[in-house]
């Protein structure tokens, strides 16, 4: 990576956010002389974003920390089309009411990470349905469509991969990149947006927007993508045995959110501290160098900081306190029910003992349905025996019910 002089690019590059960047030198120069409005778009395919979107949200936060203006674009329009980028199959189409409900629920999380308002570096939120919903087909094709060649569109990964694998790509989805490109042009006109950021799968959509904005308005805008965040064992970050790690509190308790971070692989701690917390780099360097089991202290710091950012200080403190009491003192935290066991117990009896199942049949159905977990691991064997030693064993039924087996 070349040396950057602007706070913006220095901050993004030293904390590990940059994968690809268009004309870095020109963006660097622009960021030195003015407030750069930069955007990231989020489609509203679920009621909450999950950890997979957290790098993008953190990038908007970094943009603001470096003195620039974050623009959150909610994809009220693009969600109706469905981005084929990085997807093997067409997305399930949502109706207007479903999209509106998802947007209302998703948008709350941004208030935790960004400061909104009317000042030059305050964040703003815009819904692209504002301009996409009312496009007129023939004028749009003539003004915008003529700048795209099918020859080139076929070469972008989002299209090419589906064709190569002989997976269907509908004409509806084929239009997505044009609509996202048009968003960039609209945002350049409406709020002088100069930068679009996104995950690495968004590169094609972003580049199309840059070219369209240059061709139609003669304005130079920039693009930046983040690396795909994987864990040390090679998995995509945020996929746990129990499902997606949701950012919204009504989808995942703050205690479970905290635990997700606490369970970070030793090798990922430093990288995650840089990406997902505001701790200064020298402090992170110290934490990631902690030897042996002391690295667990760094994981607790990561869990505390990341949870405080997303869920607030009080939620982070409560989660840390519950964890400390349950795991460090071996006693039960207020938040979780316990069941005392002498030596070992069968999984079925444990589920009944904690009140998660009313009968043996009920407990077996829960296990068959994939709803029973020990720690983060799904239980599939209904005859499994659990040995309870000095440390309590955490048992869960579904997403909401958690309890501890403690030694009698």
176 is in an annotated binding site: yes
CA dihedral sign of residues 156, 162, 164, 170: negative
Cβ-based neighbour number of residue 54 at 10 Å: 22
> Which of 230, 75, 92, 83 shows the shortest CA–CA distance to 162?
83
Site residues (vs ligand TYR, CB under 6 A) = 41-43, 73, 75, 78, 83, 128, 180, 183, 202, 205
Closer to ligand TYR at the Cβ: 40 or 341?
Answer: 40
Question: What is the closest distance, in whole angstroms, from the C-beta atom of residue 162 to ligand TYR in the complex?
Answer: 15
Closer to ligand TYR at the Cβ: 39 or 272?
Answer: 39
How far apart, in whole angstroms, are the C-alpha atoms of residue 194 and residue 220? 7
Paired strand residues for 123: 116
39 is in an annotated binding site: yes
Paired strand residues for 402: 396
239 is in an annotated binding site: yes
How far apart, in whole angstroms, are the C-alpha atoms of residue 222 and residue 8? 13
Question: What is the closest distance, in whole angstroms, from the C-beta atom of residue 55 to ligand TYR in the complex?
Answer: 12
Residue closest to ligand TYR, measured at CB:
41
How far apart, in whole angstroms, are the C-alpha atoms of residue 388 and residue 368? 23
180 is in an annotated binding site: yes
Tokens of 217: 């308005």
Closer to ligand TYR at the Cβ: 173 or 305?
Answer: 173
Closer to ligand TYR at the Cβ: 210 or 308?
Answer: 210
Question: What is the closest distance, in whole angstroms, from the C-beta atom of residue 117 to ligand TYR in the complex?
Answer: 22
Token pair 């999950």 in the structure block, residue: 50
Question: What is the closest distance, in whole angstroms, from the C-beta atom of residue 193 to ligand TYR in the complex?
Answer: 10
Q: Which residues contact 366 (CB under 8 A, 6 or more apart)?
A: 351, 356, 357, 372, 397, 398
Token pair 């009920």 in the structure block, residue: 362
How far apart, in whole angstroms, are the C-alpha atoms of residue 64 and residue 81? 30
Closer to ligand TYR at the Cβ: 125 or 290?
Answer: 125
Question: What is the closest distance, in whole angstroms, from the C-beta atom of residue 287 to ligand TYR in the complex?
Answer: 31
Question: What is the closest distance, in whole angstroms, from the C-beta atom of residue 205 to ligand TYR in the complex?
Answer: 6
Closer to ligand TYR at the Cβ: 223 or 403?
Answer: 223
Annotated binding site: 39, 176, 180, 239
**Residues making up the binding site for ATP:** 239
Residue numbers in the known binding site for L-tyrosine are 39, 176, 180
């Amino acid at each position: 990576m070349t040396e950057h002089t602007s706070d913006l690019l220095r901050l993004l590059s030293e904390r590990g956010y940059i994968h690809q960047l268009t004309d870095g030198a020109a963006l660097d120069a622009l960021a030195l002389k003015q407030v750069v409005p930069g955007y990231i778009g989020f489609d509203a395919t679920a009621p909450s974003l999950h950890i997979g979107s957290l790098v993008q949200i953190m990038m908007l936060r970094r943009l603001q920390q470096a003195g620039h203006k974050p623009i959150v674009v909610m994809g009220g329009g693009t969600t109706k089309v469905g981005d084929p980028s990085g997807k093997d199959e067409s997305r399930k189409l949502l109706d207007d009411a479903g999209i509106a409900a998802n947007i209302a629920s998703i948008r709350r999380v941004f208030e935790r990470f960004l400061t909104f308002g009317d000042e030059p570096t305050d964040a703003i939120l815009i819904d692209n349905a504002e301009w996409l919903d009312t496009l007129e087909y023939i004028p749009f094709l003539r003004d915008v469509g003529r700048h795209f060649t099918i020859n080139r569109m076929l070469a972008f990964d989002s299209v090419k991969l589906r064709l190569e694998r002989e997976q269907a790509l509908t004409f509806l989805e084929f239009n997505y990149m044009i609509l996202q490109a048009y968003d960039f042009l609209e945002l350049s006109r409406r709020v002088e947006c100069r930068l679009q950021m996104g995950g690495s799968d968004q590169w094609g959509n972003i580049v199309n927007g840059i070219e369209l904005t240059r061709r139609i308005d003669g304005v130079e805008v920039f693009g930046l993508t983040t690396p795909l965040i994987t864990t040390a064992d090679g998995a995509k970050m945020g996929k746990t045995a129990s499902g997606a790690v949701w950012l919204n509190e009504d989808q995942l308790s703050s205690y479970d959110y905290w635990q997700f971070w606490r369970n970070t692989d030793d090798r990922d701690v430093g990288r995650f501290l840089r990406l997902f917390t505001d701790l200064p780099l020298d402090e992170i360097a110290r934490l990631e160098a902690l030897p042996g089991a002391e690295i667990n202290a760094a994981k607790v710091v990561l869990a505390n900081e990341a949870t405080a950012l997303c869920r607030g200080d009080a939620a982070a403190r409560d989660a840390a306190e519950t964890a400390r009491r349950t795991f460090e003192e071996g006693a039960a935290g207020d938040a979780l029910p316990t069941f005392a066991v002498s030596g070992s117990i069968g999984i079925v009896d444990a589920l009944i003992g904690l009140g998660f199942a009313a009968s043996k049949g009920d407990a077996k159905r829960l296990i068959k349905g994939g709803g029973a977990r020990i720690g983060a691991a799904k239980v599939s064997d209904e005859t499994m025996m659990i040995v309870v030693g000095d440390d309590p064993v955490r048992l869960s039924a579904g997403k909401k019910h958690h309890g501890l087996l403690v030694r009698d």
